[in-house]
């Protein structure tokens, strides 16, 4: 409203060349400018703007406009249509009660200006000059009202769209959290169900090992089976711990180069047939990263995903500065199509239907985002896919 009033002031003074009580009008605009300055400082605070606060601000604009109109012809002033601006804003962003209240106040102010006002000066030097002046003022008022209303509506539309995007992101995050909780529950149930068969297998293989002690070949095979059973039981125990304690787990800090080397060493034991190269570039001593079991498992899931696509050769590169780690996993597979790029990381979506359910990449995405990072999949020009992982680091310079 202050912008509209200043534009009106300049137009009347320089275009229409109309003498008015500028001292009183400038005092009103100065008071309004002071209030707007106070409001600007208030908006820099953290607490949100309430509906009543916004309504009172618009009400002050209405009263300031009424004062200016009082000193410039009242209801005969062609800029009387500026009353529509605060009413439009109220109707667009506030509730019905505020809108009807604003409508009643603007109608009341307009009605009072029908009887109480300082008349506009008359120009007797030219025939019909008063009518021409009124028509010119009406045109200028229409231009100003149209421009300002359009600007406000566009800005409010952008704000609403941005708010809708934020709400959509929150809903997606809530849905993802629900899916993670459901997966954790299913994993815990599956671990309990598998515990009994594994215990039975351990007992049976132990008895076989005792009964066939003279058969060396069978003993070797039984030893392999018992090792695999022990590995499965350890994995299930870890799965139960992850499902029940992941949220309460405390992160420990570790140098990022040591963290990556430990993850790769573990991956080599898991996938000994995969050929890969690893190179890194970053300051030394390396900054630290918040390391948890979930984070290392998420990176292992991404490495396994690349290995499933390209057993021949995988290139792994990492670089870091004081605040961020960039990890790139480049495979020589068939790459990713548009649907895969769009849906990759959603629960139960996979481009390998015969090899899994897509849960690994989904959990990797979710866990890395929980740590403030991101995962991005792109195609390489020379063929294959590139998985980019960005993770925040602990800035040791602060």
The DSSP element (H or E) to which 144 belongs, if any, is helix 129-211
- State CA 334 to chain mean position distance: 32
Q: How many residues does the chain have?
A: 398
Question: CA angle at residue 219 from 214 to 223, to 5 degrees?
Answer: 155
* Residue among 119, 120, 99 nearest 12 (CA): 120
Residue 247: the pLDDT is: 42
Distance, CA of 58 to CA of 41 (rounded, Å)? 17
* Residue among 249, 256, 252 nearest 323 (CA): 256
Print pLDDT tens along the chain (398 aa).
555 555 555 555 555 556 667 788 788 888 888 888 888 887 777 777 788 988 999 999 899 989 988 888 888 777 788 888 888 888 878 888 888 888 889 888 888 888 888 887 654 444 455 555 655 666 666 667 667 766 776 777 777 778 788 888 777 766 766 666 666 656 656 666 677 787 788 888 888 888 777 777 788 888 888 888 888 877 777 666 555 544 434 457 888 989 999 999 988 888 888 888 899 888 888 888 888 777 888 888 888 888 887 767 888 999 998 889 999 998 887 777 666 655 555 544 455 544 444 566 777 777 788 788 888 888 888 778 888 999 998 876 65
Cβ contact 375:387 at 8 Å: yes
Cβ contact 90:102 at 8 Å: yes
- State CA 324 to chain mean position distance: 19
Q: Is 92 exposed, middle or buried (0-12, 13-18, 19+ CB in 10 A)?
A: middle
Residue 63: the pLDDT is: 92
Peptide bond into 43 cis (omega under 30): no
Which DSSP symbol is given to 312? S
Judging by DSSP bridges, how do beta strands 374-379 and 324-331 pair with one another? unpaired
Q: Is 293 exposed, middle or buried (0-12, 13-18, 19+ CB in 10 A)?
A: middle
Distance, CA of 377 to CA of 379 (rounded, Å)? 7
**HSE-up of residue 102 (Cα within 13 Å, Cβ side):** 28
- Reading across the β-sheet that carries 276-282, which strands appear in turn? 276-282, 314-320, 324-331, 385-392, 374-379
Q: Is the pTM of this model over 0.75?
A: no
Neighbours of 367 (CB within 10 A): 22
Find where tokens 């809108």 sit: 99
Question: Per residue in 194-228, is it b (16+ CB within 10 Å) or e — as a string?
Answer: eeeebeebbeebeebbeeeeeeeeeeeebeebbee
């Amino acid at each position: 409203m202050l912008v509209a009033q200043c534009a009106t002031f300049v137009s009347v003074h320089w275009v229409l060349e109309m003498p008015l009580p500028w001292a009183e009008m400038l005092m009103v605009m100065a008071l309004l400018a002071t209030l707007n300055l106070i409001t600007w400082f208030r908006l820099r605070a953290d607490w949100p703007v309430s509906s009543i606060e916004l309504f009172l601000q618009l009400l002050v604009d209405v009263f300031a406009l009424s004062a200016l109109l009082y000193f410039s012809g009242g209801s005969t002033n062609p800029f009387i249509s500026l009353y529509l601006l605060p009413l439009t804003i109220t109707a667009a962003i506030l509730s019905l009660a505020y809108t009807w209240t604003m409508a009643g106040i603007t109608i009341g102010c307009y009605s009072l200006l029908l009887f109480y006002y300082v008349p506009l000066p008359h120009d007797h030097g030219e025939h019909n000059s008063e009518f021409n002046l009124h028509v010119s003022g009406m045109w200028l008022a229409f231009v100003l009202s149209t421009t300002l209303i359009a600007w406000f509506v566009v800005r409010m539309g952008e704000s609403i769209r941005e708010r809708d995007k934020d709400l959509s992101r929150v809903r997606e995050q809530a849905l993802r959290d629900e899916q993670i909780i459901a997966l954790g529950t299913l994993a815990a149930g599956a671990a309990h169900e598998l515990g009994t068969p594994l215990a039975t297998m351990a007992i049976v293989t132990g008895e076989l090992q005792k009964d066939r002690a003279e058969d060396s070949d069978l003993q070797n095979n039984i030893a392999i089976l018992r090792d695999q059973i022990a590995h499965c039981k350890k994995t299930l125990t870890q799965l139960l711990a992850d499902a029940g304690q992941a949220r309460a787990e405390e992160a420990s800090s570790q140098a990022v180069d040591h963290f990556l080397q430990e993850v790769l060493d573990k991956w080599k034991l898991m996938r000994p047939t995969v050929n890969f190269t690893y190179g890194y570039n970053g300051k030394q001593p390396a900054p630290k990263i918040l390391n948890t079991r979930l984070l290392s498992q998420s990176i292992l899931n991404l490495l396994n995903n690349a290995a499933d696509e390209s057993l021949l050769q995988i290139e792994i590169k990492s670089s870091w500065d004081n605040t961020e780690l960039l990890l790139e996993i480049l495979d020589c597979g068939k790459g990713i199509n548009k649907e895969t790029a769009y849906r990759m990381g959603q629960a139960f979506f996979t481009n390998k239907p015969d090899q899994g359910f897509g849960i690994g990449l989904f959990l990797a995405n979710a866990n890395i985002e929980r740590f403030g990072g991101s995962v991005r999949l792109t195609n390489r020009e020379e063929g294959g896919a590139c998985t980019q992982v960005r993770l925040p680091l602990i800035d040791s310079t602060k």
